[in-house]
Structure 1
């Protein structure tokens, strides 16, 4: 018997999906029964929160939407933090949520298990769009539309809910095969490209700030071409790690929380911001006040000029940068821009040299040395992630991902597992968490073991919420609520059948490289208390 659940599975397969993330629920059993007889791979996680983070990791690793199945009521609500991260970081996830039977929709209080007055409204506050399929015949079109919207810039999560009776209803229609979903890429208006090119050609000190939209659009080649034609230094936001070669003479890297970089961007007579909304982190906590002309290329119209006045160009980053690269005049290299970049990086290095942070810098270097160039890494909200935002050479575009979109804890390990599902044995995946954030994902050690995922988890055990400890100490002179009891992470991992080892700052490179070289899941516990470099501006 084919059911509405069969139409869900067939629709996903017709759109090119090969993997589905989620967790079973009573109202979703029609989908899971259909999954059992399909060719789709099911990656089941222990909570909907972690399944959501894993779906985001899969989408980051593949560039394709990740299907996520969430159950009704509590299951849907638990997933919201992961969906907020996907929305904030523009990650395409297609969420299919089960619902109570149709009789319980529309606010009726029928007393169904997991019933919410308006589940779709709860999720709609977080996702890009939300809809309901009320009849089996609506399912293929609803999922195809969700797929298309998730991939249309700005990318993001899209939610479709389907009542239990619709999922279980018998259907007598041919299998779904002819679905298509074509994302709509916003093209730049020609007059805006001409105006932007004229501004850039007149500029004496042009600078480019590249954001995560460059990575999502696949605009790295166009960015490099434009920068080299203009002889323009390029700084990258934390969401654009690897979008521009770290060691390129024009690379101003990503020290966005350092006042020297803020001053460097401020001094540009024309600043081209592409794929960034200039939010809190990208603007050094809104302290950035450019003195020159700002040109902003952004696929999300809601972010255009949201924080600074600019020549706003609503466009896909790849399309706009390619047209700009063709429109501007090539400059003869005279070494001036490279000298300015070298001066900036020297100032930053000297500032760090004066803060006695050799251990912290060595930890970042050890992780970089141990991690193969093409291996992706996923970082939780921990002090080493804050360091990595500025100091880590991602080497491959999009190879470093973190929870800096929404900033929630618990992202690193499940997101890495999602990427490991996508990559299989092609290359290892690294997750980095603090001991506080690690507790969110401990249950997924069982998932990693069950699925045999090639992921290594580095847990930095400093006995508490390290970054909050520093913020509170700086602001109030004392801490409260930041110190944590924690388990023996090595013994705990081994109880799941996952190999684990303890490491020290001196041995981290060796131990991490060994773990990454072993097949299957692995845990490395680093007992250290890293400090942040002195921030120029504290949040809040």
Structure 2
């Protein structure tokens, strides 16, 4: 956050334009590591960093709120599989980013966060009252990043960033925090220009004896089932997951984070209906549950109603996840490496012939029950609305979903096809969808891929990121933003009405989103729910950013019948 009306905003010493400084070492190292894009907002203590950007090939995308910059860097990484890079100013700017970093940390998104700091002489509370000063800024990031580093000398910049990059891309992936004081960024350097840097992820294979034990469990099971979480996608384990499921003859359900890890219409696919009780019962009845890249947390366990009766094998790269909710044979490993080892050792098991167990029939029966339950709840409008969105979106297009009723539906019913499904279910904060999509569009564009993406928000969550309409317009980004306006915090409204019979503090005054978008010179339209497909098809074929607003009240589906 830049302050210009204070003597404290003057750099500690005059600089010659084009003179190399610590900021140059930062951008040179990032470039050598393969970075192409930086997200963030300039700030007083980070001026040396941003001056160096002007001498680098890095593209800078300036958001309007630091939290949205973090979401954009997150979306860039998810869309491309590359490391997102975020530049932050000191104090308020750094702190404003933390909710976005919590989502990246919870979801395992690799990011490098470069935050400026007050000058070295002010650190350790030796000089109080400096603008933006925190007693220990990096401590504020400790809960939302893998690690935190303070660089005190310019010569340490290249190695520190290289080490941080290695940590960010090593499973479990996540954001890594680096602080560089103002004077270290500004002071002239004698360090040679950074020409090369290497950051390879640490190997994270499964232990041999655990693979052997898991194979024994898998081959002895008679009714196995598989839960594929976000780690299965991050580990690029899709082919191995498919092979193992077919060898076992095991039903597979994907968590919201794992959506797309298993073919939606495969005969063994329970799709993503983790919040339906019929699917929960299949998992409970399994004599062996193979859980890949999931903690069996709140959503995947159907809000902790899942009570498995069989044994569990749990694979995750993060030690704190293993057995965090259920006793299991815990295998700490990258999901891709673990499933590759299991697949190579696992024989094909024809349970339909040897055990009379027909997993495909069970899957078909279960999905029919799910459909019948929805039929009984009079949700025709909601189901058509979601189906219309799905049909309007090209198969390969990536989508970014905020925490809204539409996203809760999408968690269960969205077939991502060849595209990727991204939502904020990791930490569950509002405001992810639109800035995440901005980052995704920038990333796809940088790789020469079709950059058009779809963001979906409610009216409540849209207000968290409405300022980023300016970002989308400034950079001419091909993001279509669907805002489903129900007049308030729809999920909380429904939860409160269900629990207390009434809702409190959920209704919102909101702007005319169409006029507001047009004030940013962004094309916008308001359509009825029945016309959302046609409106999206036209908007997704247009140039630059645009907005589609639908005023409607969607209801959530119930995971059980009232009589259940």
Q: How do 1:363-382 and structure 2 match up within 5 A?
A: 363-382=385-404
Q: CA deviation at 1:289?
A: 1.2
The question of whether the paired residues in 2 share the 8 Å contact of 1:284 and 1:537 is answered with no
| Aligned counterpart for 2:422 among listed residues 395, 401, 418 | 401
| Aligned counterpart for 1:132 among listed residues 142, 147, 150 | 150
Aligned to 1:82: 100
Structure 1 residue matching 2:113: 3-state secondary structure: strand
Correspondence 1:121 to 2:143: no
The question of whether the paired residues in 2 share the 8 Å contact of 1:59 and 1:92 is answered with yes
Q: CA deviation at 1:286?
A: 1.4
Residue deviations 1:77-131 (CA, integer Å, cap 9, x gap): 0000000000011111110000000011123342111011110111112211001
Structure 2 residue matching 1:174: 3-state secondary structure: coil
Q: CA deviation at 1:427?
A: 3.8
Aligned to 1:247: 265
Cα distance in 1 between the residues matched to 2:398 and 2:332:
30
Aligned to 1:360: 382
| Aligned counterpart for 1:64 among listed residues 82, 88, 91 | 82
Correspondence 1:435 to 2:459: yes
Q: Which structure 1 residue ranges, 5 or more long, are not aligned?
A: none
The question of whether the paired residues in 1 share the 8 Å contact of 2:121 and 2:127 is answered with no
Aligned to 1:534: 558
Aligned to 1:149: 167
Cα distance in 2 between the residues matched to 1:2 and 1:350:
67
Cα distance in 1 between the residues matched to 2:560 and 2:377:
13
Q: How do 1:285-434 and structure 2 match up within 5 A?
A: 285-332=303-350, 334=352, 336-396=358-418, 399-424=420-445, 426-434=450-458
| Aligned counterpart for 1:501 among listed residues 509, 516, 525 | 525
The question of whether the paired residues in 1 share the 8 Å contact of 2:222 and 2:351 is answered with no
Cα distance in 2 between the residues matched to 1:169 and 1:536:
64
The question of whether the paired residues in 1 share the 8 Å contact of 2:441 and 2:452 is answered with yes
The question of whether the paired residues in 2 share the 8 Å contact of 1:285 and 1:537 is answered with no
Cα distance in 1 between the residues matched to 2:366 and 2:141:
44
The question of whether the paired residues in 2 share the 8 Å contact of 1:28 and 1:71 is answered with yes
Cα distance in 1 between the residues matched to 2:557 and 2:542:
33
Q: CA deviation at 1:536?
A: 4.7
Aligned length: 537
Residue deviations 1:414-448 (CA, integer Å, cap 9, x gap): 00000010112614100000000001111110100
Aligned to 2:65: 47
Cα distance in 2 between the residues matched to 1:221 and 1:396:
14
| Aligned counterpart for 1:485 among listed residues 509, 520, 528 | 509
Q: CA deviation at 1:261?
A: 1.1
Cα distance in 2 between the residues matched to 1:367 and 1:185:
40
Aligned to 1:467: 491
Which moved further from structure 2: 458-467 or 180-189? 180-189
The question of whether the paired residues in 2 share the 8 Å contact of 1:198 and 1:328 is answered with no
Q: CA deviation at 1:332?
A: 3.3
The question of whether the paired residues in 1 share the 8 Å contact of 2:490 and 2:506 is answered with yes
Q: Which structure 2 residue ranges, 5 or more long, are not aligned?
A: 1-18
TM-score by length of 1: 0.98
The question of whether the paired residues in 2 share the 8 Å contact of 1:378 and 1:416 is answered with yes
Aligned to 2:11: none
Correspondence 1:263 to 2:287: no
| Aligned counterpart for 1:102 among listed residues 112, 116, 120 | 120
Cα distance in 2 between the residues matched to 1:278 and 1:156:
20
Aligned to 2:292: 274
The question of whether the paired residues in 2 share the 8 Å contact of 1:501 and 1:525 is answered with yes
Aligned to 1:444: 468
Correspondence 1:179 to 2:179: no
Structure 1 residue matching 2:463: 3-state secondary structure: helix
The question of whether the paired residues in 2 share the 8 Å contact of 1:108 and 1:117 is answered with no
Cα distance in 2 between the residues matched to 1:117 and 1:295:
44
Cα distance in 2 between the residues matched to 1:124 and 1:332:
49
The question of whether the paired residues in 1 share the 8 Å contact of 2:318 and 2:332 is answered with yes
Residue deviations 1:19-71 (CA, integer Å, cap 9, x gap): 01110000001010010111111111001010000000000011111110011
Residue deviations 1:245-289 (CA, integer Å, cap 9, x gap): 000001011111111111110000111001111111111111211
Structure 1 residue matching 2:213: 3-state secondary structure: helix
Aligned to 2:251: 233
TM-score by length of 2: 0.94
Cα distance in 2 between the residues matched to 1:268 and 1:340:
12
Structure 1 residue matching 2:320: 3-state secondary structure: helix
Residue deviations 1:346-380 (CA, integer Å, cap 9, x gap): 11111100000001111111111011111111100
The question of whether the paired residues in 2 share the 8 Å contact of 1:243 and 1:396 is answered with no
Aligned to 2:24: 6
Q: CA deviation at 1:333?
A: 7.1
Residue deviations 1:120-168 (CA, integer Å, cap 9, x gap): 1111122110010000011111111111111111111110000000000
Q: CA deviation at 1:331?
A: 2.4
